Amino acid sequence: MYSNVNGNAEESLVVITVIGADRPGIVAGITQVLARHNVNIVDIAQTVVRGIFSMIMIVDLSTGNIDLPRLREELISKSRELGVEVSVNHIAVFRAMQRV
Amino acid sequence: MPRIFAPEEIREVIEMLLFQDLDIRSVTLGISIQECISRCVSEIIECVESKVSSYAQKLVRASNKVMNKYGVKIVTKRIALTPFSLVLEPLATQSLDKAFEAGLEIAKSVDRAAHNNNVDYVGGYAAFVHKGSTPGDRVIIDSIPQALAETQTVAGMVNLASTYTGINVDAVNKVAEKVLELAQKTPKGIGCTRFTAMANAPEDNPFIPGAYHGLGEPDAVINVAVSGPGVIETVIKRLGERTDMRTLHDYVKRAAFKITRLGELIGREVAREIGVEFGIVDLSLAPSPKIGDSVARILEAMGLEIAGAPGSIAALYMLVDAVKKGGAMATSSIGGLSGAFIPVSEDWGMTQAAMRGAITIDRLEAMMAVCNTGVDMVAIPGDTPPEIIAAMMLDVMAVAIALDKALGVRIIPVPGAKPGDVIDFGGLLGTTVVIPVPKYNVKQFVARGGLIPPSIRRLDKG
């Protein structure tokens, strides 16, 4: 598996998670950043449990005009405006840890 | 389109990274400096410094790039070098004094290169004397106090015993004196945190101070050390207090698999970025002085009031066994020390237990039978006589060769300190309490010198 972890179809996939107190505009704020850079959302799941907002997105950077570190920077600065926690990780981390 | 990952799978990983202190403790780049062996001091220094500098830049650049890409923290970046005893051998054969000065100069130049390039530690001020010593080895042992006191990043190691050869008691006596000398030369004896006396030192150990670049290694190689005690503690706490031992073991194993896989991913990527071979993942769970990053707290999460209590050996055994089995499934590149670490000052829970008297030298010696630590990061009174330190080392070496495993002694005889004094070493080295050491007379025993023969296990090896 490790031999082809780079250069496979998942190389450009990134996992974004957002957690924080629920309020209007969180999804809009985060997706605005993605849209601005033409980054495609592949999968999205969102829940609100007892007022805590949680969103997980898998996005594809191959259509976009931004790399992962810069996307992280922009999303973190947006998350400060929104008052939420955001984390941005390459999908290989999840593939390594959650698949045999 | 089916989901690539269930939200719970993603959430679990993110929680580990954000809230359970899962990170890469160290990416260690092993580099051979065998081509720098020379009779000319300036040639050695130029060769070693330029090789270390150029690789250090690559290591730091690659580590930062991988850290940014994957969103996984790499806590320290280290370099492990060919044992300096080999580099100094030609000089030492000519003149011990000249080689002594050269050792110091090389250590300082490597220290500069590490500082300038933001590398945290450089291992390899090392000698192998488990059966006897050469002039180069003797120079290293003699110069360790000064070399470590006059540098900030250089780490030293002397291998004093091996399953193959037994224990070199003469060398143990010598090294015990040097540990005291090193303690006297550095504030709070902090230089001793960068020195370990070892048995069966592995060639691909990514952990400082035992790290060196072994003779069986390629020119350059990346070895990785993972952290993650917080992940295991959380897993155990979530299972609740009524979960039976076998189920507990199973869940720890699963968590260890995930932690190890992260280590392998990051290690391979850093190696690829630099353009060197990937070596090994050390399965050991490295703790830190943070409360949620403690191996002792894992034992406590299993149901013991405090680490060191009766049951601690069984709990630690179960932890280490599960980590090894989960880790073995996760990677085919296992190496280093691969067990569990219980360095007292570097583990928040271990220090708390030492303060309450539950962790003592005796308990540490019992625990080392089932883990791979030995007596590590233990502050002892500065007036501990050298023969007591030598005897403590002999005890650890004996267990190592009897059980055929790697163990070390990293003790800090804090000058002027008494049992119960609290000492702050700062940063990852932590704050700890000075542990009392028995003061019975052992002079006659250690003064016999010579070699303790290898165990019967030696014969299993052919």
- Which residues in chain B are contacts of A58 at CB distance < 8 A? 4-5
- Which residues in chain A are contacts of B18 at CB distance < 8 A? 85, 87
Say whether B70 and A92 touch across the interface (CB within 8 A). yes
3-state secondary structure of B14: helix
Contact at 8 Å (CB) between B104 and B91?
A: no
> Which CATH code fits B26-199?
3.20.70.20
| pLDDT interval class at A19 (50, 70, 90) | very high
- Which residues in chain A are contacts of B264 at CB distance < 8 A? 2, 96
- HSE at residue B436, side-chain half, CA atoms within 13 A, is 9
- Which residues in chain A are contacts of B1 at CB distance < 8 A? 42-43
Contact at 8 Å (CB) between B298 and B229?
A: yes
For testing the chain A interface, which of B1, B12, B13 should be mutated: the one with the most A CBs within 10 Å?
B13
| Per-residue confidence (pLDDT) for residue B360, from 0 to 100 | 98
What values do phi and psi take at B305, rounded to 5? -60, -40
Q: Provide the domain count of chain A.
A: 1
CA distance B162 to B455: 10
| Per-residue confidence (pLDDT) for residue B339, from 0 to 100 | 87
Q: Take residue B405 and report the two structure tokens written for it.
A: 């495993």
| Per-residue confidence (pLDDT) for residue A9, from 0 to 100 | 75
| Per-residue confidence (pLDDT) for residue A3, from 0 to 100 | 40
Residue A94 has pLDDT above 70, yes or no: yes
Overall average pLDDT of the A68-74 stretch: 97
Overall average pLDDT of the A52-79 stretch: 96
In eight-state DSSP terms, residue A6 is S
Say whether A89 and B4 touch across the interface (CB within 8 A). no
| Per-residue confidence (pLDDT) for residue B80, from 0 to 100 | 98
Say whether A88 and B1 touch across the interface (CB within 8 A). no
* Residue entry with tokens 């291992």: B123
| Cα separation values, B25 from B81, B207, B223, B229, B266, Å | 19, 9, 11, 11, 11
Distance in Å from the first CA to the final CA of chain B: 58
Q: Could you tell me which residues of chain B have a Cβ less than 8 Å from any Cβ in chain A?
A: 1, 3-5, 7, 9-14, 17-18, 68-72, 258, 261-262, 264-265, 268, 272, 329
Residue A7 has pLDDT above 80, yes or no: no
> Is residue B279 within a helix (H) or strand (E), and if so which, with residue range?
strand B277-286
| Per-residue confidence (pLDDT) for residue A50, from 0 to 100 | 87
Question: What secondary structure does DSSP assign to B183-194, as a single string?
Answer: HHHSGGGGGGGG
Domain boundaries of chain B, sorted by first residue: 26-199
- Which residues in chain A are contacts of B261 at CB distance < 8 A? 96-97
The radius of gyration of chain B from alpha carbons, rounded to an integer in Å, stands at 21
- Which residues in chain B are contacts of A89 at CB distance < 8 A? 13-14, 17, 70-72
- Which residues in chain B are contacts of A5 at CB distance < 8 A? 265, 268
B326, closest residue in chain A (CA to CA): A100
| B4, B18, B268: residue with CB nearest A2 | B268
CATH code at position A14? 3.30.70.260
Q: Take residue A9 and report the two structure tokens written for it.
A: 């179809």
Residue A4 has pLDDT above 50, yes or no: no
| Per-residue confidence (pLDDT) for residue A31, from 0 to 100 | 96
Say whether A96 and B69 touch across the interface (CB within 8 A). no
Say whether A98 and B9 touch across the interface (CB within 8 A). yes
Residue A2 has pLDDT above 60, yes or no: no
| Per-residue confidence (pLDDT) for residue B1, from 0 to 100 | 57
Domain membership of residue A83 as a residue range: 2-98
Say whether A17 and B4 touch across the interface (CB within 8 A). no
> Is residue B309 within a helix (H) or strand (E), and if so which, with residue range?
none
A43, closest residue in chain B (CA to CA): B3
- Which residues in chain A are contacts of B329 at CB distance < 8 A? 100
CA distance A99 to B257: 10
The two counts, helices (H) then strands (E), for chain A are 3, 4
Residue A5 has pLDDT above 90, yes or no: no
Closest CA to B349 of B339, B336, B340: B340
Say whether A43 and B4 touch across the interface (CB within 8 A). yes
B3, closest residue in chain A (CA to CA): A43
Residues in chain B, pLDDT under 50: none
Contact at 8 Å (CB) between B264 and B225?
A: no
CA distance B50 to B387: 41
